[in-house]
Structure 1
Amino acid sequence: MIEEQIQSLTKVQIVSLTIEQVSHLTNQQIPLFTTEQIQALTPIQIRSFNVTQIPYFTSIQIASFLPSRVSKFIEIQIVSFTKEQISLFLPSQITAFTPSQIQSFLATQIASFLPLQVVDFTKQQVPLFTIQQIQSFLAIQIAAFTPIQIDSFWLWQIKSFLPLQVAAFTREQIASFLPLQIQSFWLWQIQSLTEDQIPAFTKIQILHLTEDQIQSFLPIQIAAFTPIQIESFWLWQIPLFTKEQIPNFTKEQIASFTLEQIRWFTLLQIPFFTPEQVSFFTKEQISWFTEKQISSFTEQQIPYFTKEQIQELTMEQIQSLIGQQIQSFTKEQIPFFTDMQIQWFRADQRKFFKG
C-alpha cells in the first residue's frame, strides 16, 4: 500500500487488518498511519508488531497510543523502543505500564526517561524497578522522584542506589525517607551524602540512625548537622561519636547539646574535643559535667576554659580536679576563681597551683 492508500483506511478497515498483515507492514508504511488509525488498533494488533517495526513509530504516533493500548505491548516489544521514543511517552501512558512492562525496560531505556516523566511513575510502579534499573537512573532523574515515590521504594531498592545517585537526592527527598528506609542505608551510602543534604534529616530520621551509621559520618558531614538536629540525638547516641568526629563539631553545635546530652559524653570522648571547642561549651553545660567527666579534660584543654566557665564549676567538680589539671590553669585563669571556689580546693590540691 502507498501513502494515500494507508491514510485513507477507515477505523473499520484498520480494525479488520489481520495479525499477518500488521506484522508485514514495512518500515516505510508504519510512519504513515495517522493518529486516528493508531488509536483504532486493537490489543491483538498491538501485540502483532514485531521488534523491527517498533522503532519506526514516529513521535506523533507514540503520543497517539491510548493508555489502554500501551499496556498491551509485550516485553519483547517494550525493549525495542528507542531512547528517543521512550522520552516521548505521556503521563497517562507511563501510568498505564504493567508490572511486566516496567521490569522489562533495559538500563539504557530507563536512563532515557526525562525527569518530568520520572514523576509520572505511580507508587505501585516504583517498587517494581529491579536493582539494575534502579542503578540506571541518572542523577537528574533521581532528583525528580517525588516524596510519595521515595516512600514507595522497598528497602532492598534503597540499598541499591549508587554513590552518585545518593548524592543527587534533594533535601525534600532526604526528609521524605521513612525511618526504616534510613536504617537500610549502607554505610558507604551514608558517606555519599553531601554536606548540603545532611541538614535535611528530620528528628525522627536521626533518632532511627543505627550505631554503625552514626559512626560512619565523615568529619565534613558531622559539621553539617544543624543545632536543632544535634539536639535531636538520643542520649544513647551521644557516646557513639568517634574521636575522628568529635573535633569537627562547630561552635554552634557544641552550644546546642542539651544538658542531658552533655552527661552522656564518655571519659574517652572528652579528651578529643579540641582546646578551642572546650571554650564553646556554655557555662550551663560546664556545670552539668560530672566529676569524672571534669577530671577527664586534658592539660591542653584546661587553659581554654573561659572566665564564665571557671566560675560555673561546682564544689564537686573543683574537688575532682587532679594535680596535672590544676597545674594547667594559666596565671590569667587563676583570678577567675571566686573566693568561694578557692575555699573548695582541698589542701592536697592547692599545692599544685603555680606560684
Structure 2
Amino acid sequence: MSRPDVRHGRGAPENRTPTRFNLPVREADGDWLDAREALDDGPPPLRTTVTVEKPKTIITRNTSPDIGFDRSINPYRGCEHGCIYCFARPTHAYHDLSPGLDFESKLFAKPDAAALLRTELGKSGYDVRPIALGTNTDPYQPIEARWRITRSVLEVLAETRHPLTITTNSDRVTRDIDILAPMAADGLASVAISVTSLTPDISRTLEPRAPSGRKRLAAVRALSAAGIPVTVAIAPVVPGITDHEVEQIVAAAAEAGASGTFFLPVRLPHEVAPLFRAWLDEHFPDRADKVMNIIRALRGGRDNDPNFFTRLQGFGPWAELMATRLRVAAAKHGLNREKKKLRTDLFVPPQGPQLRLL
C-alpha cells in the first residue's frame, strides 16, 4: 500500500532523522504538520528553499587512492533533482537536516564561489591539476538557472586557462557551451553526463526532478558537436531496476557522439540505505528483496562497502558480469578507445587588484 506521507515529485519517501551525530529527533517540520492537519488528501507540495552559505575556501581536496581527481568544487549543497540513490545525501546530516526530503528541498548556495576561486588560484605556489565540478551535488540542478554560480566558476577557469571536468545528470550544461567549447579546443575541458535509464516510468521515481534520459542524450549530442569531449556515465546501475538497459544506453551514447562510457553500481552509504529500502518498498515492492540481495552480494554481504578500490565497482559475480557487458557493448560501438589527459601547462594566474607587468 502506498504511504500517505509520500511527496509526489520528490525522490525520498520520508524525512528520516539523522542519528550519527546525536541530533535531536525530528518527526517533521512544524509547518508541515500544521498544514497537513488542515488537509484530508495528504501533505501539501514541498517548497524548495535556498540558504546562502559563506565558506572561507571553495576548493575541496581529497587524497582518496581510487578517485581520479584530487580537488573539486561544489557550488551547492543538497540537490533538487531528488535522486534517491545520491551518495551525497548523508552530508545534510552535518547541518542537522535530514538526508531525506531536506536534502532535496533545503538547499545551500555559495554565491562567493568565483571570488574565492580567484583568490585560491592566485596564491603563490599553486599546483595546477584539473578541478572537478559535480562530484557531490549537481552543478546544473534547477537553481543554477537563477544563481549561475557554476557559470561564474567556469568564467574564472576559462580566464585562467585552468583544466576542469564536469559531472552532471542535466542537459542544462549546454547553456555553457560558449565557455566550454573554446576550453575544450585547448584541451582544458571534458564533461561526463550520467544516464541511468531511458524508461520514463523508472526515471520519474528514481530521479524525479532531473531531466529525462533522452534530454541528456540530446545534451551529449550538442556537446560533442561543439567539440567538447563527453562521456556517458551509467551511474548508478541499480540491479533489478535499470541493469537491463546497459546495452541500450551504450548504443544510444555512441549514436549521440560520446567518446566513452563507464558504469558504477549503486552505493548506499549511511542514511542512503534505509531511504533506498523505503523507496523500493514504495515503488518496487514486488522485487525489493531481490534488489537488496544483489546489492549485498556485490558489497560483501552488506548494504554498502566503504573500502577503497571495491566501493566504486563492487566485487563478485554480479560486478564481473556487469563489467563484461559494458566492455563488450563499448567495444561494439567503438567507445573507450582512447582517453586524452587535460592540459595543465596553459595556466595563467588571475590578475589581482594591480595589473601584472608585461
TM-score tier after normalising by the smaller chain length: under 0.3
TM-score, structure 2 as length reference: 0.25
Structure having the higher helix fraction is 1
Structure having the higher strand fraction is 2
Q: Return the index of the structure with the highest Cα Rg.
A: 1
TM-score, structure 1 as length reference: 0.25
